[in-house]
Amino acid sequence: MKLPKVTDYEITPDMKVSELLEQMMNIGFQATEIGRAVEIIESMKREGATIFLSFTANMVASGLRSIFTLLVKRKFVDVIVTTGGAIDHDVIKAVSDYLIGRFDMDDVDLHKRGVNRLGNILIPNDRYVKFESIVQKMLSEIYEEKRVITPSELIREIGKRMKDEKSFIYWAYVNKIPIFCPGITDSALGLQIFFFKQTHKDFVIDVTGDMQELADIVFDSKKTGGIILGGGIAKHYTIGVNLLRGGLDYAVYITTAQPWDGSLSGARTNEAVSWGKIQEKANHVTVYGEASVIFPLIIIKVFDDLKLW
């Protein structure tokens, strides 16, 4: 069996990011897996696969929000699956900034000062006060039009009312890209819905109502691909629904979680093959690393190669 040789990086002063990524395939370790991820994502797009983008809320709190917005604005992805907090952060960042702190800050002091720490990102309590005001107004408007609503419909209505072109839910509304959020109640948005229901008892979030739309997307797709950042419910909802068609044809995981505890978050792509959530002949890779570093590099390379800029 003839295998490619390991090559050394050749770094130059005027090197572009995409030129660096071009070398990664034969560097070894996670660099090679990043190179494979680029190839698989490009194959998804070239083959006309329905592309599912899955990510967790913490990533929207970071600067990755603009990458998600780019992918939705340019219609690179067809479906988003995320967690409730992603909507929180997108709405809040439309009106307020988040701050950079450190991982080793005094959390007792932060709590006394009314500052919440998400890794090394700081979110003062007043951001959530603004969020409450915005969302309660939106919920009142939505209630006048519809009393029973699915999570994807609710997010679409919120996106419709967003005035920020940096918002990924705004562009999802504009481009009719559905955002599915099976765990919507586990968020500040979910808390606000709970508060709203105290005086609007007939307002219902029909979580199971989204299953038909999602299933239709899967059944109508000739091929499907998953770009899955992180784990949890968003990851499983993405791969789980693709079980209906015999699994994803393409899959890229980017994760820091390990598989040794049997958790879904740590499960590699090959484990999903055993469940039929990724096809036996699928093209797939698990990249170990933190998405705020790795994912922008991959997208730059993909957009360069496919001439999408």
Rounded distance between C-alpha atoms, residue 134 and residue 55, angstroms: 24
| First-residue to last-residue Cα distance in the chain | 39
pLDDT per residue rounded down to tens, the chain (309 residues): 899 999 999 999 999 999 999 999 999 999 999 999 999 999 999 999 999 999 999 999 999 999 999 999 999 999 999 999 999 999 999 999 999 999 999 999 999 999 999 999 999 999 999 999 999 999 999 999 999 999 999 999 999 999 899 999 999 999 999 999 999 999 999 999 999 999 999 999 999 999 999 999 999 999 999 999 999 999 999 999 999 999 999 999 999 999 999 999 999 999 999 999 999 999 999 999 999 999 999 999 999 999 999
Burial of 271 (0-12, 13-18, 19+ CB in 10 A): middle
Q: What is the pTM of this model?
A: 0.97
What is the model's pLDDT at position 163? Answer: 86
Provide the pLDDT for residue 160. Answer: 98
Choose, from 277, 281, 301, 307, the residue flagged as catalytic. 277
The fold of the 32-95+125-300 domain, in CATH, is Deoxyhypusine Synthase (3.40.910)
- Specify the 3-state DSSP secondary structure of 50: strand
Rounded Cα distance between 159 and 167, Å, is 8
Active-site residue 163, yes or no? no
Which residues make Cβ contacts (< 8 Å) with residue 104, sequence separation at least 6? none
Contacts of 297 (CB under 8 A, 6+ apart): 17, 20, 21, 34
Q: What is the pLDDT of residue 52?
A: 98
Where exactly are the structural domains of the chain? Answer: 32-95+125-300
Phi, psi of 84 (to 5 degrees): -60, -35
Q: Is the dihedral of CA 259, 271, 29, 13 positive or negative?
A: negative
Asked whether the beta carbons of 132 and 192 are under 8 A apart, the reply is yes
Return the axis-axis angle of helices 291-305 and 29-46, rounded to nearest 10°.
Answer: 50
| Contact (Cβ atoms closer than 8 angstroms) between residue 194 and residue 95 | no
